[in-house]
């Protein structure tokens, strides 16, 4: 066999000499030319660190302690500079906006080629070729900062591909993208794979990746614990490593099927006739009985940004004790809508009533004590030195401070060990928990969560689901905004589907997902669980 | 306008024009200079943006006018505010017709270190990104009942806006530095996709401008 493209040999790494824990511990890995490899693992398992070790950012950009050896095409990453390695290994980061820095897409694609010192004609040839391969030819003159998150990721991929690398490394590229954009990037990556470039990708939501890759490596506490074709790896027990197998895999295992399917199509072909659907734990909750008076109402709500309507006649009623999911693609108006719930935005037409108070006539500081809103990026709100202050500050400002309730929240979100720590030093999942507690600190009647699962691993999602169930059991009204349909299906009793600033349909998750034209217009795909259920119903007929 | 001038020519023109404004004492000439600039704004079809921008500048100009009036006399105040208006309009016109990318690359060609030029143009590029971040923080804090609406209360709570903004700006800078490194920023031997060369028309325009300026200054 040929010499591997990348060889990782007994690699140890920690970010500071003073920290006692190794992030990577005795890690060994060989990647061959043209392979498509998934790195799976819970948050903190070392995926991002490993990605950065493959192109020399570790050890050159980070001042940590590295032991062992990484070689790329016979170049030792320790003795070669990033400048020598970057054309062999292209890197695409998680945050799309923070890796693009040019005024136009053309300049963005040209940047790496200029670094290589290529001639003008060659630069133009290569950037056009790369733009075409990735499918962004129509975006060349645009400003990268004005593109959608999905388009930005494609630009970053094209910028890496223009260098003709032998390997590209993508660190959770799907984290903040909606399903339609995930599909676009998946197909671009498949084309790249077919052209012979090796790909390493890390991702939490396995169902988006397993069908594409040749190989799956599971990381746990800095080591590779499972490695092989995805079917082989997924036939093992992976929950202990903080991973949740795709629904089709779980279902096939529960039915005792011998082959592990990776897609719903494969699953359909594999199920024998006359089988009934196995039970996989609690079904999506049905809409629950609720009080007679709504806590929140929007009546024919219209809102525009610079004369472009973003919300078009939204009529929505929220009853006490409900857990409602606002689902839709990025840019469908979800976040704009929830910003109306506490008066951050005021309707241009129509009105919004929160506990019978018209938001046009009520101050945000007053509405905020009834509606607790936690936005996607928890870092937007931290300014105190201790988690405890951070949770209390809102309640004090709203004059709704209640020590007893704050203690309860601390227990509910398991924050006791973190209270004295600085919010900035927490993991992203812990930060989210602090932000949720802060949103509830003033005992609001309505809790609103904006994309709560973005970029989070399975253990976090499970814990969040439990918090939501506990809160619902106390009668808390919850609204979550998400394009993570798997999560919404499990925990929300009612869905409202948004597209282009309008409500397309509204009801139980199965009703909404069963409305194919609406789902298509919204750019969403039904969950695997729903598709499987449909397959069984069709078989039974 | 179809004449394509080198960014450096445009920069020098702007500086020369500014020098002319600074040396002009008579009111009619000052008005003429401003009129010429407005003509330029109309010619490059930037009228609408200019008016928007002028609205912001007006507050400053009025303050400037009042201070000068109070300190000197009415005539001095009028000249001073006209100068301020003309000077800022000159550079408005310059920046609206010259992309920071072209300007910085052209200056690199004339010997400015690439790193300096890069910082200059990237910081302009990231102003909207930081503004967006500030708006998100503003919304997040108001949602918690922290009053950040303009007013005295906002002053007291201003760490709630500045702390997250500063920390995120540093994070952004770190992430960008990493992304730059991964695209070969520090590799020696960089080439440029576009070439910048002073053409005959650049030299002609520059010579003409210098002669004109000297004539205006020297002939009373």
- Judge if A174 and A317 occupy the same domain: no
> Is residue A288 in some structural domain?
no
B65 contacts B81 by C-beta, under 8 angstroms: yes
Same domain? For A264 and A141 the reply is no
Q: A256 pLDDT band (50/70/90 cuts)?
A: confident
**Is pLDDT of B2 > 50?**
no
Our count of domains for chain A comes to 3
Chain segment A408-457, per-residue pLDDT in tens: 999 988 899 999 999 988 888 899 999 999 999 999 999 999 999 988 89
Burial class of residue A88 (count of CB atoms within 10 Å of its CB; 0-12, 13-18, 19+):
buried
Q: Which pLDDT does position B120 carry in this prediction?
A: 85
Same structural domain, A273 and A314: no
Q: Chain A within 8 Å of B192 (Cβ-Cβ)?
A: yes
Q: A198-250 pLDDT, tens per residue? A: 999 999 999 999 999 999 999 999 999 999 999 999 999 999 999 999 999 99
Q: Do B183 and A123 touch (CB under 8 A)?
A: no
CB contact under 8 A, B184 and A115: yes
| In the predicted structure, residue A282 carries a pLDDT above the cut 70 | no
Q: Are residues A155 and A257 in the same domain?
A: no
B126: nearest CA partner in chain A: A101
Report how far Cα A477 is from the mean position of its chain's Cα atoms. Answer: 24
CB contact under 8 A, A98 and B163: no
Q: Choose the final residue of a domain: A257, A281, A305.
A: A281
pTM for this prediction: 0.89
Rounded CA gap, B215 and B220, in Å?
9
A82, A93, A438 ranked by CB distance to B144: nearest: A438
pLDDT attached to residue A288: 60
Interface residue A383 vs chain B (CB under 8 A)? yes
Kindly report the CATH number assigned to the domain that includes residue A136. 3.40.50.300
Percentage, residues of chain A above pLDDT 90: 77
Judging contacts by C-beta atoms under 8 Å, the chain A residues touching residue B176 are 98-99, 101
Pair A264, A167 in one domain: no
Q: Are A74 and A214 within one domain?
A: yes
Distance CA B209, CA B212 (A): 5
Average pLDDT, chain A: 92
Expressed in angstroms, the distance from the first to the final Cα of chain B is 33
Residues A349, A257 share a domain:
no
B-chain CB neighbours of A344 within 8 Å are 139, 142-143
What is the pLDDT confidence band of residue B186, given thresholds at 50, 70 and 90? confident
Please name which of B205, B217, B219 lies closest in space to residue B20, comparing C-alpha atoms.
Answer: B217
Contacts for B192 with CB less than 8 Å, ≥ 6 apart: A114, A120, B105, B108, B109
3 state DSSP class of A170 = strand
Q: Tell whether A408 is covered by a domain.
A: yes
Chain A interface test: which of B147, B178, B183 (most A C-beta within 10 Å): B183
Please indicate, yes or no, if residue A1 is contained in any of the structural domains: no
Domain-embedded: residue A37: yes
Cis peptide before A59 (omega within 30 of 0): yes
How far apart, in whole angstroms, are the C-alpha atoms of residue B89 and residue B42?
12
Percent of chain B scoring above 70 in pLDDT = 98
Q: Are residues A259 and A129 in the same domain?
A: no
Tell me the C-alpha distance between B193 and A113, whole Å.
9
A236 lies in the same domain as A253:
no
Rounded to an integer, the average pLDDT of A2-24 is 91
A322 and A461 assigned to the same domain: yes
CB contact under 8 A, A55 and B182: yes
Is residue A495 located within the same domain as residue A371? yes
Domain contains A289: no
Distance between B210 CA and the closest CA of chain A, angstroms:
33
Yes or no, beta carbons of B193 and A394 under 8 Å apart: no
List of chain A residues whose C-beta atoms are within 8 Å of the C-beta of residue B104: none
* Confidence at B127, pLDDT banded by 50, 70, 90: confident
Residue A468 lies in a domain: yes
The answer to whether B96 faces chain A, any CB pair under 8 Å, is no
CB contact under 8 A, B139 and A107: no
Q: Is A393 close to B144, i.e. CB distance below 8 A?
A: yes
Pairwise CB contact (< 8 Å): A145 & B129: yes
Q: Mean of the per-residue pLDDT values for chain B? A: 89
Q: Which of A61, A120, A160 minimises the CB distance to B181?
A: A61
What are the tokens at A16? 């500071």
Pair (A473, A502) in one structural domain? yes
Residue where a domain terminates, one of A258, A281, A304: A281
A383–B175 C-beta distance less than 8 A: no
Range of the domain at A122: 6-243
Q: Which residues contact A44 (CB under 8 A, 6 or more apart)?
A: A427
Q: Please indicate if any CB of chain A lies within 8 Å of the CB of B61.
A: no
State how beta strands A36-40 and A167-171 pair: unpaired
A194 domain residue, yes or no? yes
Task: With beta carbons under 8 A apart, name residues in chain B contacting A118.
Answer: 191
Sign of CA dihedral B85, B87, B91, B96: positive
Q: Which of residues 146-185 of B touch A (CB under 8 A)?
A: 146-147, 149, 159-160, 162-164, 167-168, 171-172, 175-185
Q: Return the H-helix or E-strand segment holding A495.
A: strand A494-499
Three-state secondary structure along A263-302? Answer: CHHHHHHHCCCCCCCCCCCCCCCCCCCCCCCCCEEEEEEE
Question: Would an 8 Å CB–CB cutoff place B43 in contact with chain A?
Answer: no
Note the pLDDT tens digit of each residue in A17-62.
888 889 999 999 999 999 999 999 998 899 999 999 999 999 999 9
- What average pLDDT does this structure show over B188-203? 87
Predicted complex: ipTM over 0.90? no
Residue B121 sits at the chain A interface (C-beta within 8 Å) = yes
Question: Do residue A101 and residue B180 have CB atoms under 8 angstroms apart?
Answer: yes
The answer to whether residue A284 scores a pLDDT higher than 90 is: no
Cβ pair B187:A83 closer than 8 A: yes
Give residue A433's Cα distance to chain centre.
16
Q: For residue range B64-78, list pLDDT tens digits in order.
A: 999 999 999 999 999
> Is the CB of residue A504 less than 8 Å from the CB of residue A522?
yes
* Residue A286 maps to a domain: no
pLDDT tens-digit readout, B39-59: 999 998 889 999 999 988 888
């Amino acid at each position: 066999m040929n010499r591997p493209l990348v060889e990782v040999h007994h690699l140890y790494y920690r970010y500071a000499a003073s920290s006692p824990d190794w992030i990577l511990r005795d890690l060994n890995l060989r990647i061959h030319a043209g392979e498509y490899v998934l790195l799976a693992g819970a948050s903190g398992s070392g995926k991002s660190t490993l990605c950065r070790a493959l192109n020399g950012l570790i050890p050159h950009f980070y001042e940590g302690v590295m032991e062992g050896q990484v070689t790329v095409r016979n170049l030792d990453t320790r003795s070669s500079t990033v400048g020598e390695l970057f054309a062999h290994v292209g890197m695409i980061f998680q945050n799309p906006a923070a890796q693009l820095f040019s005024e136009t897409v053309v300049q963005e694609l040209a940047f790496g080629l200029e670094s290589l010192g290529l001639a003008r004609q060659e630069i133009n040839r290569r950037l056009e070729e790369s733009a075409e391969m990735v499918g962004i030819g129509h975006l060349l003159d645009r400003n990268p900062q004005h593109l959608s998150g999905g388009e930005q990721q494609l630009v970053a991929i094209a910028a890496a591909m223009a260098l003709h690398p032998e390997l590209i490394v993508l660190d959770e590229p799907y984290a903040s993208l909606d399903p339609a954009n995930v599909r676009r990037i998946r197909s671009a990556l498949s084309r790249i794979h077919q052209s012979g470039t090796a790909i390493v990708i890390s991702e939490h939501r396995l169902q988006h990746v397993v069908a594409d890759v040749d190989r799956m490596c599971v990381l746990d506490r800095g080591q590779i614990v499972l490695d092989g074709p995805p079917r082989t790896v997924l036939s093992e027990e992976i929950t202990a490593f903080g991973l949740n197998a795709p629904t089709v895999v779980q279902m096939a295992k529960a039915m005792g099927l011998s082959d592990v399917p990776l897609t719903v199509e494969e699953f359909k072909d594999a199920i024998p006739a006359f089988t009934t659907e196995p039970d996989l734990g609690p079904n999506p909750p049905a809409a629950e009985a609720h009080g007679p008076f709504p806590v929140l109402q929007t009546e024919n709500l219209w809102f525009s940004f610079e004369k472009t309507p973003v919300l078009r006649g939204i009529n929505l009623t929220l009853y006490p004790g409900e857990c409602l999911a606002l689902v839709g693609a990025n840019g469908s108006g979800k976040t704009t809508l929830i910003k109306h719930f506490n008066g951050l935005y005021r309707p241009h037409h129509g009105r919004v009533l929160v506990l019978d108070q018209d938001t046009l006539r009520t101050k945000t500081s007053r509405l905020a004590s009834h509606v607790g809103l936690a936005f996607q990026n928890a870092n937007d709100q931290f300014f105190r030195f201790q988690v405890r202050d951070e949770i209390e500050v809102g309640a004090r400002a709203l004059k709704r401070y209640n020590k007893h309730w704050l203690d309860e929240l601390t227990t509910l979100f398991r924050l006791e060990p973190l209270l004295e720590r600085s919010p900035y030093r927490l993991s992203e999942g812990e930060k989210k928990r602090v932000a949720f507690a802060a949103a509830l600190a003033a005992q609001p009647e309505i809790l609103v969560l904006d994309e709560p699962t973005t970029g989070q691993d399975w253990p976090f999602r499970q814990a969040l689901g439990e918090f939501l169930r506990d809160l619902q059991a106390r009668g808390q009204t919850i609204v979550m905004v998400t394009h993570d349909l798997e999560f919404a299906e499990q925990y929300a009793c009612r869905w409202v589907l948004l597209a282009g600033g309008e409500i397309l349909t509204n009801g139980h998750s199965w009703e909404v997902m069963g409305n194919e034209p609406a789902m298509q217009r919204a750019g969403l795909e039904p969950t695997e669980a729903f598709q499987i259920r449909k397959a069984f119903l069709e078989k039974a007929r | 306008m179809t004449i394509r001038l080198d960014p450096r020519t445009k920069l020098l023109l702007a500086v020369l024009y500014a020098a002319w404004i600074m040396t002009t004492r008579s009111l009619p000439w000052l008005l003429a200079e401003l009129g010429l600039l407005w003509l330029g704004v109309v010619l490059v079809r930037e009228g609408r943006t200019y008016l928007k921008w002028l609205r912001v500048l007006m507050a400053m100009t009025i303050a400037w006018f009042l201070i000068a009036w109070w300190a000197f006399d009415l005539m001095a105040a009028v000249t001073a505010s006209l100068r301020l208006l003309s000077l800022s309009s000159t550079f408005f016109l310059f920046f609206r017709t010259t992309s920071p990318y072209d300007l910085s690359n052209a200056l690199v060609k004339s010997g400015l270190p690439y790193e300096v030029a890069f910082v200059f143009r990237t910081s302009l590029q990231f102003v909207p990104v930081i503004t967006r971040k500030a708006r998100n923080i503003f919304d997040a804090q108001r949602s918690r009942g922290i009053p950040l609406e303009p007013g005295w209360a906002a002053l007291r709570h201003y760490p709630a806006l500045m702390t997250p903004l500063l920390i995120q700006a540093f994070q952004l800078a770190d992430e960008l530095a990493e992304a730059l490194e991964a695209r070969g920023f520090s590799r020696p031997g960089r080439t440029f996709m576009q070439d910048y060369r002073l053409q005959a028309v650049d030299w002609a325009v520059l010579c003409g401008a210098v002669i004109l300026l000297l004539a205006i200054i020297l002939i009373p």
